[in-house]
Amino acid sequence: MYRRIFFYSLMLIVAIYSQTTLGQTVTNVNISESDDAPIISRHIYGHFAEHLGRCIYEGFYVGENSTIPNSAGVRLDIIEALKELQIPNLRWPGGCFADTYHWMDGIGDLEKRPTIVNTWWGGVTEDNSFGTHNFLNLCEELGAEPYLSGNVGSGGVQELADWVQYTNFKGKSPMSDLRRENGRDEPWTVKYWGIGNEAWGCGGNMRPEYYADIYKKYVTFMSDADIEGGLYKIASGASNDDYNWTEVLMKNIPKNMLEGVALHHYSVIDWDAKGPDVDFDEQTYFNTMKESWLMEELIVKHTAIMDKYDEKKEVDLIVDEWGGWYEVAEGTNPGFLYQQNTMRDAMIAGMNLNIFNNHADRVKMANLAQTVNVLQAVILTEEEKMILTPTYHVMNMYKVHQDATLIPLSFDSPKYTLKEESLPALTISASKDEGEKTHISFTNIDANKAHTVSLDLNSLNIKNISGTVLSSDSLQDHNTFENPDKIAPKDFKDFKFKKGKLEVNIPPFSVIVLEGYK
């Protein structure tokens, strides 16, 4: 009798232990490959460069006479860093700035270009030395698609139509002739065009019904003739949970005039009290993660509205502004939006990229705000110095998903709990590339606990696995110009892989990417 009791007790202990690792509950992740799974568009990994603070001037652009090594005035170290990221697209010139920018002010003889006051960002005077040619030539050098935001707020229909002709028309016309006079014979063939920016706010404080009519008017005069497949036109979309905006646009704009609808969402806890960029406490971190997690809900609800009017998913969701937004770094210009980039930003990046990947059926482009020296930047500069941020490293780790086929996953995430509130601790996404390599990315936002996951990979025919992790000792850790490599990816080996079964221990506030291959 006692032996039987002992035996059953032992079996119970083994069963409990089999579901735990050092006291941690094991989360089972189910894999369901599908023949009709979507491709994760490389354009999800896009970037954003606005005339804001030190993003363009003193960031990208230092001028041809600078002692900092440059190509046509653009820093060579930034070019090489962005090439390493394989950035697929770059959005320019804004942002709010776009609806005050007149593109013809930025072409032709430098000495004759008028100045402009950047009324949105710091009230600084710019000399228009960085313009259309500089930006489009930079995109060519990066191998990235340019994404131009047209001026609908203060610019006219003809102005935008002329910009399209200037950049794209191969034949003889007033605008193509002007382009050739300015030193560029062949057009750049710019495919991606935003029709205004944040039309509900800084782009004109419009009603959605009014903007829908404005949108149709502008795109009517934008020539598709010289672009294979036509221009890819993106409507200024909703802010956060303004679902009515999406409803009105989808209802009132014919699908043959619309390729994408934008969505903007920042991980900001309070627009009047955003919290510090470095010296934040765990409660502030938790609240930021809660705002970041809203991206999942926003995509689900906005796409549900899109599905009502577009069952075949012919119109894409374009998240062309996303990222963390805090109070500016101490001692910097409030209008320049310069902030440090900590492990908290790595969490935002990993979480959101997993969300975008998992919604690849609708989300076809996203643009992190912003590339250099502004908000959740991937690069920070200080005169001749340059550093790569934790966000840069996450995007570099995740680039393996670009244009790969999504592998759908399902699981019940363990919770990250603080006081009386809880959030899902884990986001995970997976894909298979053309070379039959499988990549699985994990982000654990839990500030205190590691979490263990288990996956059965037998259906994927994987024989070997290697991994990379981004982690640090403190959420507030960041790279500095004095210590630029404090946070950098490292080899990851804290997993077990046997007979097709994978078990991974994911440290607190860390990002991991595993590669599986034959």
Give the pLDDT confidence of 104-141 residue by residue, as tens digits: 999 999 999 999 999 999 999 999 999 999 999 999 99
Of 406, 430, 458, the residue that ends a domain is 406
The verdict on 141 and 193 lying in the same domain is yes
Residue 359: which CATH number? 3.20.20.80
Q: Which stretch of 204-208, 223-227, 290-294 has the lowest confidence by average pLDDT?
A: 223-227
Task: Give me the percent of the chain exceeding a pLDDT of 90.
Answer: 92
pLDDT at residue 17, rounded to an integer: 41
Please check whether residue 481 is in contact with residue 385, taking contact to mean a CB–CB distance below 8 angstroms: yes
CB atoms within 10 A of CB 108: 16
Instruction: State pLDDT tens for residues 70-80.
Output: 999 999 999 99
pLDDT at residue 20, rounded to an integer: 47
The verdict on 391 and 427 lying in the same domain is no
Instruction: State pLDDT tens for residues 372-397.
Output: 999 999 999 999 999 999 999 999 99
Instruction: State pLDDT tens for residues 15-43.
Output: 444 444 445 689 999 998 788 999 999 99
Q: pLDDT at residue 48 above 70?
A: yes
Across the range 141-170, mean pLDDT stands at: 97
Distance (Å, whole) CA 196 – CA 205: 12
Of 377, 406, 435, the residue that ends a domain is 406
The verdict on 261 and 383 lying in the same domain is yes
Q: pLDDT at residue 475 above 50?
A: yes
Q: pLDDT at residue 456 above 50?
A: yes
Sequence-distant (≥ 6) Cβ neighbours of residue 169 within 8 angstroms: 175, 176, 187, 223, 225, 226
Distance (Å, whole) CA 213 – CA 242: 18
Range of the domain at 451: 24-36+408-517
The verdict on 450 and 494 lying in the same domain is yes
What's this model's pTM, rounded to 2 decimal places?
A: 0.94
The number of angstroms, rounded, from the C-alpha of 191 to the middle of its chain's C-alpha atoms is 19
Q: Determine, yes or no, domain membership for 3.
A: no
Please check whether residue 503 is in contact with residue 495, taking contact to mean a CB–CB distance below 8 angstroms: yes
CB atoms within 10 A of CB 273: 9
Q: Determine, yes or no, domain membership for 438.
A: yes
Q: Determine, yes or no, domain membership for 7.
A: no
The number of angstroms, rounded, from the C-alpha of 111 to the middle of its chain's C-alpha atoms is 36
Distance (Å, whole) CA 508 – CA 494: 13
Q: pLDDT at residue 485 above 80?
A: yes
Of 406, 439, 462, the residue that ends a domain is 406
The verdict on 375 and 361 lying in the same domain is yes
Enter the DSSP assignment of 478.
B
Please check whether residue 191 is in contact with residue 231, taking contact to mean a CB–CB distance below 8 angstroms: yes
The verdict on 271 and 413 lying in the same domain is no
Q: What is the DSSP string of 257-272?
A: G-SEEEEEEEE-S-TT
Quickly tell me which residue has 């394989």 as its tokens.
86
User: Computed over its alpha carbons, how large is the radius of gyration of the chain?
Assistant: 24
pLDDT at residue 24, rounded to an integer: 64
Please check whether residue 388 is in contact with residue 67, taking contact to mean a CB–CB distance below 8 angstroms: no
The verdict on 163 and 240 lying in the same domain is yes
The verdict on 390 and 424 lying in the same domain is no
Q: Determine, yes or no, domain membership for 476.
A: yes
When pLDDT is cut at 50, 70 and 90, the band that residue 331 belongs to is very high
Q: Strand (E) positions, 12-75?
A: 20-21, 24-31, 46-48, 70-71, 74-75
Q: Determine, yes or no, domain membership for 386.
A: yes
Q: Strand (E) positions, 205-279?
A: 232-239, 260-267
Sequence-distant (≥ 6) Cβ neighbours of residue 224 within 8 angstroms: 230, 231
The verdict on 393 and 436 lying in the same domain is no
Q: Determine, yes or no, domain membership for 5.
A: no
Amino acid at 513: V
Q: pLDDT at residue 239 above 70?
A: yes
Q: Determine, yes or no, domain membership for 6.
A: no
pLDDT at residue 9, rounded to an integer: 45
Instruction: State pLDDT tens for residues 278-318.
Output: 999 999 999 999 999 999 999 999 999 999 999 999 999 99
Active site residues: 198, 321
Q: pLDDT at residue 14 above 60?
A: no
The verdict on 299 and 421 lying in the same domain is no
Q: Determine, yes or no, domain membership for 16.
A: no
- State the total domains in the chain: 2
Residue 477: which CATH number? 2.60.40.1180
Tell me the pLDDT of the chain averaged across its residues: 94
The verdict on 268 and 134 lying in the same domain is yes
The verdict on 171 and 251 lying in the same domain is yes
